[in-house]
Amino acid sequence: MDQVVGELDHLDDVAVLQHLEAAKRSMSRDLLRDPVVLARGLDRSFRSRPHLRVIGEALADVGRGECPRLMIFTPPQVGKSTTVAEWFPFWWLCLFPTDRAAITSYGDDLALRRGKTIRRYVEEYGDEYDLHMKPGSGAMQDWEVTKGGGVRSVSVGKGLTGFDVNLLIIDDPHKDRADAESEASRRALHDWYSSTALKRLQPDRNAIVGIQTRWHPDDWAGRRLADEGRVEEGGRWRVIHLPAIADPKFGADPLGREHGEPLPHPKIPVRDTVRLRAWWADMKATSIPRDWHSLAQGDPQPAEGALVSEELLRMIRDGSTKVEPQKIAVSIDPSGGGRDTAGVIGGFLGDDKRVWVTHDVSAPMSSADWSTAACRLAYETNAAIIFVEWNFGRDMAVLALETSWETLQRSGEIPEDVLMPKIDPVRAKQGKLLRAEPIAQQMVQDRVRFRGLFPDLEREWATWQPTDPDSPGRIDASCILVYGLIPEANKGAIVHAPLPQAPTPGGRQAPPSAGPYGRRIAK
C-alpha cells in the first residue's frame, strides 16, 4: 500500500482519479474470469466452495466456446442453481451484451424468480461492465439491456417462439418424481426441447447448460445422454457429476475425492468434515433409497421389473421386535470378475426362524480391504461363521480372510485369545436371477427382515433388473447369508465346499464344536 501511495504522490488529483479508475476497471475485468469469481467479488454473502469453483471453471469453458453443451448434477441446496441460473447469465451478458439468454424451469414462478435476480444484478453491478437496462424494459419475464441482449424466463413447454437464444439454461425441468415418472410428461418435455427450444438457438454463438435432479433414467438429462453421448465417449455433452458421497462407480470424481468422502456445502465450513458427513448421513437416513440415490447421488434407477418392491422393503424393516440370535454369520461376495464392489453383509438366524440382516459394510474394495472389513464385522457381531463366495478362487478367498484376521490380532484390534470364525466357502451354481428370486420370495413370506434401514442394499433389491450388466454385490452377499442360515431355501443355488480337515497354520479355524450363537474364546 505504501508503495502505491508513493507512486501517486507526484500526481495531481485528476491523474490520481484516472489511476484509480483504471485500477478499478482492471479489477472488474479480473472478476470476469468465471461466474464464481464474479459472484465472490460482487456479493459478500456468496460462499464459494470447491465444488462451486469446479462448476465456475466449467461455465467459463462454455463462455469461451470450448464446451457448448454442459450438464451439472449435484444434490439439492448446494448452490448450483444460484451459480448456474443466476450468476452465469449475468456473467454472460457482461461479456456478450448483445446475446439473449433463456432461463427455463418446470414452472413459471421458478423461472421468473431467476430472471428477476439476474435483472437485479444488472441494476446493481451493471455499471462496472457498461451493462444497463433498456428504458421501458419493465417486464420481469422478458427484459433487455441497451446493447440488445436480454433474458426471457419461462417454464419448459412454452414461451420461446419468436425469441432468439444464444444461451439456453435448463434448470430442473421436472417438478418432482411423479412428473418425471409420467411417460406423457417426459414425452411432452422431450418434444418441446426438440421442436421449440433447439430451434431458437442462433448460429453465431449458442450454448446449453442443464442442471437438474435426476429422477428417472429417461428424464431430460438421461435422454440427451442416450441420444448424444458424453464427451469422453465421443459424444456431445460434458457432465459434471458431484454426488453427495463420492463413489467410483461414477468415474473420476471432479473434486478428486476418495470413495465415501462428502460433498462440501455452502453453509458448512469445508474443513468441518464431521458436520458434512453428519448432514449427508441425516439426508440418507431420512430418504427412501430411490430418493437418496436420485437426489443426492444423481443415480436414478427404474422401479419397474425389480425383484422386490420398495413397499415390501419398508415392511420388512424392523428395529424393535425382540428376537434371540441362534446363529450369527457374515457373508461375502468378493470383488472380482470385472466388479470392484465387494458385498459384505452381517446377520443372524433368530429364534423366530427368520434371517435378520444387521449390517451392510459393502463398498468398492480390494481383497485385502474386504477381507479386513469382514473380519472386523465378524468380531464385532461375534459371528460363528463366515460364508464367502469363491467362484473367483476359493483358496485365495480363504487365505485373504485368514491373513486379515491374523493381521488384526497382531495389531491388537482383535484379542489374540479370540478364535477365528469358521470359514465356509460356497459356490454359485445358478445364475444371478435364479439365486435371487427365491430370496425375494423369502422376503414376501416374511422369512427375512432388516434390523434397521439399509439404503444401498434396499436400492439394489428395488432397482436391479435381470437384464442389467452389472453384478450387485449386496444382493449376492445377502443371498449367500440367507442360503447359509436357511439351508432348506437353498435347493442347489449354492454349494458348500468344506475346507480340508487338516488344521490350518496357527490353528486359526474355530473347531466344529464351537457353539451355534458365536465363536468361542480360546482357553
Structure confidence by residue, pLDDT tens digits, 397-449: 889 999 999 999 999 999 999 999 999 988 776 667 677 888 888 898 899 99
In-domain check, residue 303: no
Q: Is residue 106 domain-shared with residue 221, that is, in the same domain?
A: yes
> With bands split at pLDDT 50, 70 and 90, how would you rate the model's confidence at 505?
very low
**What is the distance between the alpha carbons of residues 433 and 403, in angstroms, rounded to a whole number?**
33
In-domain check, residue 14: no
Q: Of 85, 93, 62, give the one whose Cα is nearest residue 170.
A: 85
Q: Is residue 166 domain-shared with residue 248, that is, in the same domain?
A: yes
CA atoms within a 13 Å half-sphere pointing along the CA-CB vector of 519: 28
Span 232-243, mean pLDDT?
Answer: 94
Lowest mean pLDDT segment, chosen from 209-223, 283-297, 440-454: 283-297
Span 249-275, mean pLDDT?
Answer: 92
Q: Given 242, 263, 282, which residue is the final one in a domain? A: 282
pLDDT at residue 507 greater than cutoff 60: no
**What is the distance between the alpha carbons of residues 95 and 85, in angstroms, rounded to a whole number?**
16
H or E element in which residue 150 lies: strand 150-155
In-domain check, residue 38: no
State residue 4's pLDDT score.
47
Q: Is residue 239 domain-shared with residue 327, that is, in the same domain?
A: no
Q: Is residue 264 domain-shared with residue 375, that is, in the same domain?
A: no
Average pLDDT, the chain: 85
Query: CB neighbours (10 Å) of residue 362?
Result: 27
CATH number for the domain including 118? 3.40.50.300
pLDDT at residue 2 greater than cutoff 70: no
Q: Given 262, 282, 302, which residue is the final one in a domain? A: 282
Span 339-361, mean pLDDT?
Answer: 92
State how far Cα 23 lies from the chain centre. 43
pLDDT at residue 67 greater than cutoff 70: yes
> With bands split at pLDDT 50, 70 and 90, how would you rate the model's confidence at 517?
low
**What is the distance between the alpha carbons of residues 409 and 506, in angstroms, rounded to a whole number?**
12
Q: Are strands 422-428 and 494-496 parallel, antiparallel or unpaired?
A: antiparallel
Lowest mean pLDDT segment, chosen from 172-181, 184-193, 295-304: 295-304
State residue 431's pLDDT score.
67
| Whole-Å CA distances, 410 to 297, 365, 416, 453, 511 | 38, 22, 8, 34, 21
State residue 12's pLDDT score.
57
Residue labelled with grid coordinates 422386490:
308
State residue 393's pLDDT score.
60
In-domain check, residue 382: yes
| Residue 343, strand partner residues | 333
- And the C-alpha cell for 369? 480391504
**What is the distance between the alpha carbons of residues 298 and 189, in angstroms, rounded to a whole number?**
20
Pairwise pLDDT comparison (55 vs 291), residue with the higher score: 55
**What is the distance between the alpha carbons of residues 382 and 418, in angstroms, rounded to a whole number?**
10
Q: Is residue 103 domain-shared with residue 187, that is, in the same domain?
A: yes
Q: Is residue 263 domain-shared with residue 350, that is, in the same domain?
A: no
Q: Is residue 66 domain-shared with residue 123, that is, in the same domain?
A: yes
Three-state SS string over 377-390 comes to HHHHHCCCEEEEEC
In-domain check, residue 304: no
Q: Is residue 218 domain-shared with residue 319, that is, in the same domain?
A: no
- And the C-alpha cell for 22? 483504471
For residues 81 and 209, the answer to whether their CB atoms sit within 8 Å is no
pLDDT tens track for 138-157: 677 889 999 999 999 888 88
In-domain check, residue 15: no
pLDDT at residue 39 greater than cutoff 60: yes
- And the C-alpha cell for 355? 434371517
In-domain check, residue 184: yes
Q: Is 71 helix (H, G, I), strand (E, B) or coil?
A: strand
Q: Is residue 92 domain-shared with residue 173, that is, in the same domain?
A: yes
Strands (E), 304-421: 325-333, 341-350, 355-360, 363-364, 385-389
In-domain check, residue 167: yes
Domain count of the fold of the chain: 2
> With bands split at pLDDT 50, 70 and 90, how would you rate the model's confidence at 297?
very high
pLDDT at residue 386 greater than cutoff 90: yes
> With bands split at pLDDT 50, 70 and 90, how would you rate the model's confidence at 455?
confident
Q: Is residue 408 domain-shared with residue 503, that is, in the same domain?
A: yes
**What is the distance between the alpha carbons of residues 12 and 258, in angstroms, rounded to a whole number?**
58
pLDDT at residue 59 greater than cutoff 80: yes
pLDDT tens track for 299-308: 887 666 677 8
| Whole-Å CA distances, 222 to 102, 199, 214, 218, 299 | 21, 20, 8, 5, 10
| Whole-Å CA distances, 364 to 43, 360, 367, 477 | 41, 13, 10, 14
Residue 142 amino acid letter: D
Q: Is residue 266 domain-shared with residue 355, that is, in the same domain?
A: no
pLDDT at residue 454 greater than cutoff 80: yes
Pairwise pLDDT comparison (493 vs 457), residue with the higher score: 457
**What is the distance between the alpha carbons of residues 247 and 253, in angstroms, rounded to a whole number?**
8
Identify the DSSP state of 410: H
CATH number for the domain including 410? 3.30.420.280
**What is the distance between the alpha carbons of residues 470 and 405, in angstroms, rounded to a whole number?**
30
Pairwise pLDDT comparison (102 vs 20), residue with the higher score: 102
Q: Are strands 69-73 and 422-428 parallel, antiparallel or unpaired?
A: unpaired
**What is the distance between the alpha carbons of residues 472 and 293, in angstroms, rounded to a whole number?**
15
Q: Is residue 182 domain-shared with residue 227, that is, in the same domain?
A: yes
State how far Cα 340 lies from the chain centre. 17
Strands (E), 214-323: 238-241
Range of the domain at 405: 310-507
pLDDT tens track for 354-375: 999 999 999 888 888 999 999 9
> With bands split at pLDDT 50, 70 and 90, how would you rate the model's confidence at 522?
very low
State residue 188's pLDDT score.
92
> With bands split at pLDDT 50, 70 and 90, how would you rate the model's confidence at 464?
confident
